[in-house]
A = this chain, B = another copy of it.
Amino acid sequence: MTALTQMKCEACQADAPKVTDAELAELIRMVPDWGVQVRDGIMQLERVYKFKNFKLAMAFTNKLADLAEEEFHHPGILTEWGKVTVTWWSHSIKGLHKNDFIMAAKTDQLLD
């Protein structure tokens, strides 16, 4: 399987398919630092990144914002002192699309 970081998000309409349980099991293994949360009935990917201070957390938030605009897929980014919590899901389908796993993998890459 091609690395997620090599893929681009596809346009995701309201009738696009959510990931199946089998796909979820395969995809989640490719982003092992991410957890699956269900919030208000919507399945989401979430990861907390730790930083030494607020400035470094904000620098990461800005890198992630640039990535989000590039791919035109936007996460929830909770920036706090020394900590950024990133949440990916596909608003249009109210759940997880393969795009979210691609974006999770690309978010991890921002740390390099």
- Kindly specify which of A3-11, A41-49, A57-65, A99-107 makes contact with the partner chain: A57-65
* B69 pairs with A80, CB closer than 8 A: no
Q: Answer yes or no: A78 CB below 8 A from chain B CBs.
A: yes
* B74 pairs with A76, CB closer than 8 A: no
Besides the known contacts A54-B68, A55-B69, A79-B79, 18 further A-B residue pairs in the complex with CB atoms under 8 A apart: A54-B65, A54-B69, A54-B74, A58-B65, A61-B61, A61-B79, A62-B62, A65-B79, A74-B80, A74-B81, A75-B80, A76-B78, A76-B79, A76-B80, A77-B78, A77-B79, A77-B80, A78-B78
* A interface list, Cβ under 8 A from B: 54-55, 58, 61-62, 65, 68-69, 74-81, 91
Docked complex Cα distance between A62 and B64 (Å): 13
Docked complex Cα distance between A26 and B41 (Å): 38
Docked complex Cα distance between A45 and B91 (Å): 27
Docked complex Cα distance between A55 and B70 (Å): 11
A58: chain B residues within 8 A (beta carbon)? 62, 65
